[in-house]
Amino acid sequence: MLPKGKWAMLPSQFRRLIDTLHTQLGAIRETLQNQEDARRDAQEGTEQKWREVPGIIASSVLGTADDRKAAESQKKKENAYQEDLIASQNKLVKWTRRAFLAACAYAAVALWQGYLTNRTIIEMRMANEAASRQLTVAENALDTSMSQFDRTMGALIDQTASTKRSAGAAEKSVEAAQDQMRVDQRAWLAPFNACGLYPGVWKLGTADGECPEPPAGTQPIGAVVFFRNAGKTPAFNVRDKVAWQTIDNLPKTDDPPPDEREGNIFPNGVLNIPWKADSLVASTISAGAENYAIMGTVWYDDILGNPHWTQYCFEARRRLTGFHPCLAHNATDDQHKKH
């Protein structure tokens, strides 16, 4: 018998097998006991018969010869029957014992197999528990790794965003430096003076834009505007548009001429733009009116091919003998881009 603890650990099918073996072994023991009792009863019967032998002998002696023969024959038959019965019972007892021993051996093998199976199950259960613990450790390690990965990726994303912002700031800085360089190195056409235009003299004035004394006995018939390239590189494809307009009707913008080009102006170069006044404007100005202005726009390209324009406007004063910059129509493309 196994201890209670070990018995409880056996699988149910082995416990049922052991219970069945116990029942069969009990039945075999009962059969052996019955056979042993039967043999004993037969032996006692035989002994009782032998105790009756003297009486039978006496009766045989006293009887006839036929009676004696019949008694001897009956005695031999009974002895043979008793011997056969005893031999059969001995054989039955022998085979029953062998069956009992075989059943015991089978029970022992079954118990041993049950023990081995139970031990295997216990080992498998222990292995499963160890595997479960290892799986838990692996899951915890995976969670830790994933958390570390998330933190690393978050830091990498933050670093990438910071790098992107730095790159954007650097790019803006480069663009600002490039813009500053273009502004510093580009051509700049700027009006700086205006003089009266007299008959026979279309381009009056010096390179510095100073207005000389008008010829004696002549009256101005228009005006000339002076531009200078104040930049560090040439101005290309210069073209202009000029007109007389009253101060109250100055346009905000001018359309460039279709194909009128004055050429190129190099750094510190001066451009003179003369423009006669029509008879109505000239007579009005000559009468002393000061509400007219010579105005227009100059278009040009810088050395990088970028287009630019500059507006100009000068009020005519003292019968075209003096000019004053207007408060309007004097913007540039750079001012326009900022707005």
d(CA 216, CA 288): 20
What CATH number does the domain containing 239 carry?
2.60.40
For residues 200 and 312, state if they share a domain. Answer: yes
Residue 126 is assigned to a structural domain of this protein: yes
Task: Please report, in angstroms and rounded to a whole number, the separation of the first and last CA atoms in the chain.
Answer: 106
Q: Which residue has the tokens 């006692």?
A: 44
Report which of residues 99 and 135 the model is more confident about.
Answer: 135
d(CA 118, CA 110): 12
* pLDDT computed for residue 83 by the predictor: 76
Band of pLDDT at residue 63, cut at 50, 70 and 90:
low
d(CA 256, CA 164): 43
**In degrees rounded to 5, what are phi and psi of residue 69?**
-65, -40
pLDDT tens digits, 220-263 = 788 888 989 999 999 999 998 888 888 888 988 888 877 666 68
Residue 171 is assigned to a structural domain of this protein: no
Residue 169 is assigned to a structural domain of this protein: no
* pLDDT computed for residue 299 by the predictor: 94
For residues 204 and 104, state if they share a domain. Answer: no
Range of the domain at 205: 188-338
* pLDDT computed for residue 209 by the predictor: 63
pLDDT tens digits, 68-115 = 677 678 778 777 877 777 777 777 767 777 777 777 787 778 778 778
b/e 305-317 (16+ beta carbons within 10 angstroms → b): eeebbbbbbbbbe
- Name the residue among 241, 236, 231, 230 with its Cα closest to residue 263: 236
- Asked if 332 and 311 touch (Cβ cutoff 8 Å), the reply is yes
Does residue 53 carry a pLDDT above 60?
A: no
Domain boundary among 102, 135, 168: 135
Does residue 271 carry a pLDDT above 70?
A: yes
Pairing of strands 307-317, 263-265: unpaired
Does residue 159 carry a pLDDT above 80?
A: yes
Residue 128 is assigned to a structural domain of this protein: yes
Domain boundary among 117, 135, 153: 135
- Looking at the chain, the whole-number percentage of residues with pLDDT higher than 70 is 80
Residue 220 is assigned to a structural domain of this protein: yes
* pLDDT computed for residue 224 by the predictor: 87
Report which of residues 147 and 77 the model is more confident about.
Answer: 147
DSSP class of residue 255 equals P
d(CA 272, CA 225): 6
* pLDDT computed for residue 302 by the predictor: 93
Does residue 29 carry a pLDDT above 90?
A: no
The answer to which of 35-39, 47-51, 236-240, 250-254 has the lowest mean pLDDT is 47-51
- Asked if 314 and 194 touch (Cβ cutoff 8 Å), the reply is yes
How far CA 255 is from CA of 174, 251, 311, in Å, comes to 34, 10, 11
How many domains, the chain? 2
Residue 314 is assigned to a structural domain of this protein: yes
Measure the CA dihedral 95/101/103/106, to 10°.
-140
For residues 234 and 130, state if they share a domain. Answer: no
For residues 204 and 95, state if they share a domain. Answer: no
Does residue 177 carry a pLDDT above 60?
A: yes
Residue 173 is assigned to a structural domain of this protein: no
d(CA 247, CA 270): 26
* pLDDT computed for residue 338 by the predictor: 61
